[in-house]
Chains A and B, each alone.
Chain A
Amino acid sequence: MSEAVMEPGGTAGVVNDFARDKQVFGVPWGKAMMWIFLLSDTFIFSCFLVSYMMVRISTTDPWPNPSEVFGLTAFGYDVPLLLIAIMTFVLITSSGTMALAVNMGYRKNRKATFWLMVATAALGATFVSMQAFEWTKLIMEGVRPWQNPFGAAQFGSSFFMITGFHGMHVTAGVIYLLIVANRVRNGFYERCGSNYEIVEIAGLYWHFVDLVWVFIFAFFYLW
């Protein structure tokens, strides 16, 4: 990174980074690979969301109103999308604790990093639990990947595929965070002389999961 200070920025920097006989990206290789993985994951989720758009446009059956289907009654009122809103806030909270964990990692504050990562994982687990509750509720009401009593069958297919794939990412993220958090706690990264960039790489994955939820929330639940 010390030589990067001497290098040009802007578009001249792009030409320089790609054309010169050197490593293209001035970041740790793990971070570059995580970004490239996330790019491929972006395309996977985009394909899901685009296919959802396609089946929603092309079906002649009425599309159910998500704010009713996912509504809950609280204190005697019908609140639309209540559980989904809570899930959104849980995920945002976990994103904040993760960002702080990355920062504390670079400050070499192992204890704070560990506990912030554990908090992030706990919030992620809470999110998945609420999603399991949502799935159970819809399945008991007769929604299946191939049928849906409230409207177009494609609603069920899209719902289970998109939220299922996202939930799987959250679950994988919780496991990933706990493994890294444990290694932060027992001093593994201290011993191998790492600069705690591994926490930032795990953080990239976690923020991506939150990012995907932003799009799912807008397109599937609100639109």
Chain B
Amino acid sequence: MASAEGQQHPLKIYYVMWIALFVLSGFSYATDFMDDGALRTFFILTFMLLKAAGIVFIFMHMGWERLALKLAILGPPVAILVLIWLMSYEGFYVEDTRIENYGPSTFVPEAVPHH
């Protein structure tokens, strides 16, 4: 059964991760019942990152790969943080210029129908 090649791990790890994902998703969903604010944002991001880490390191076996592969795959996405910073900066600037030149929005949204 045990083979020197490939990713062979006890089934228990997968069951634990699976249950953890269900619980964390439940917590994620529960944040929708919280009031908007920094605390809610913090919970949304925390549960998101925990779930993502669990999927990548356990289910995708990244935790057991050599450091060279970890760095080559997980390193480059860090650059996205720069894009997020630049685009949010740009976004607030665009919003300001729109308000300055066109004035505040006059759009009146319809109420969302009950399904």
Contacts and interface: CB of A to CB of B under 8 A. Distances in A.
A142 to B, nearest CB: 8
A89 B22 contact: yes
A128 B75 CA distance: 31
Given A57-B95, A141-B113, A42 B77 contact: yes
B35 to A, nearest CB: 12
Interface residues of B, number: 65
A62 B105 CA distance: 8
A173 to B, nearest CB: 14
Contacts of A57: 88, 91-92, 94-95
**Which of A35, A60, A67: most chain B CB closer than 10 A?**
A60
Interface in A32-80: 32, 35-36, 38-39, 42-43, 46-47, 50-51, 53-62, 64-65, 67-69, 71-73, 78, 80
A59 B66 contact: no
B7 A80 contact: no
Contacts, number: 192
Interface string B87-107: 110111011001100101101
Contacts of B84: 50, 53
B28 A99 contact: no
B110 A149 contact: yes
Nearest to B83: A50
A96 B4 contact: no
Given A106-B7, A207-B60, 16 more contacts: A60-B95, A61-B109, A64-B109, A64-B112, A67-B32, A71-B112, A72-B115, A103-B8, A103-B14, A197-B5, A200-B7, A211-B52, A215-B48, A222-B28, A222-B32, A223-B44
Interface of B: 1, 3-9, 11, 14, 17-18, 21-22, 25, 28-29, 31-33, 41, 44-45, 47-48, 51-52, 55-56, 58-61, 65-69, 71-73, 76-77, 80, 83-84, 87-88, 90-92, 94-95, 98-99, 102, 104-105, 107, 109-110, 112-115
